[in-house]
Amino acid sequence: MSFPKYLLIALAFILTACDNLNPSPDDKRPPVDSSTAGFNVGQIAPDFSLFDTESNTVTMSAELVSQDGIVLYFTMWCPICDSHMSHMRAQVIPNYPNVRFLIVDFVSGTIADSRTAQENNGYTDMTVLVDNTQEVLNLYNANMGTTVVIENAGSHGIVRMNEDYKDSKKLTATLDALP
């Protein structure tokens, strides 16, 4: 079986566009300044307040007072997000009673629309935050499926994980490392 010419040409183009096919294993990113607020792992977690779907104000720093940490999961109520949230609900959340899990709805727009989406998707047992201005989405450089773990560090939170949800292994390892 031979490859069509256009596939070989495309492959050659892609390979010649790569300037280094043997990249260094060294992390070339600048170090994170742990004394500054930001979304990077190791930085101080930016504080925020949002309404939940019952019109209560939820403030990150206040939630951290009585918890080891907080998990933010950014959803669009799609089947992929539902799969992630269902897996977290069944396999992760029960094992971490001292961690607050919050769903962040950044697409529905209003509290009423977020509440409807929450009810329609079967998540009335969880707290859903309404990020209708996408303020928190931007604070944490998030998108659909981003999972952020914030550790309680006394007077503030520290970002311990900020990445797209892939499976529970990284999440549970991060949660296990919380004090």
Tally the domains of the chain: 1
pLDDT tens-digit readout, 83-100: 999 999 999 999 999 999
Confidence of residue 34 (pLDDT cuts 50, 70, 90): confident
169 falls within a domain: yes
Please spell the DSSP secondary structure of 88-153, one letter per residue: IIIIIGGG-TTEEEEEEE-SS-SHHHHHHHHHHTT-TTSEEEE-TT-HHHHHTT--TTEEEEEEE-
**Domain enclosing residue 63, as ranges:** 37-176
5 falls within a domain: no
Among the listed residues 39, 50, 28, 52, the one whose alpha carbon sits nearest the alpha carbon of residue 162:
39
29 falls within a domain: no
pLDDT tens-digit readout, 96-139: 999 999 999 999 999 999 999 999 999 999 999 999 999 999 99
pLDDT above 60: residue 11: no
Q: What SS3 state is found at 51?
A: strand
For residue 105, the domain's CATH number is 3.40.30.10
> Which region holds residue 122: left if phi is over 0, alpha if psi is between -120 and 50, else beta?
left
Q: Mean pLDDT lowest for which of 17-21, 47-51, 107-111?
A: 17-21
13 falls within a domain: no
What dihedral angle (degrees, nearest 10) is formed by the CA atoms of 72, 81, 125, 95?
Answer: -60
141 falls within a domain: yes
Q: What is the mean pLDDT of residues 56-65?
A: 96
Are the C-beta atoms of 92 and 167 separated by less than 8 Å? no
Q: What is the pLDDT of residue 155?
A: 85
Are the C-beta atoms of 68 and 152 separated by less than 8 Å? yes
Global pTM value: 0.82
pLDDT above 60: residue 80: yes
163 falls within a domain: yes
Q: Which two tokens stand for residue 26?
A: 């060294």
67 falls within a domain: yes
20 falls within a domain: no
pLDDT above 70: residue 67: yes
Sign of CA dihedral 163, 170, 87, 60: negative
Summarize the chain as % helix, strand, coil (round to 5). 35, 25, 45
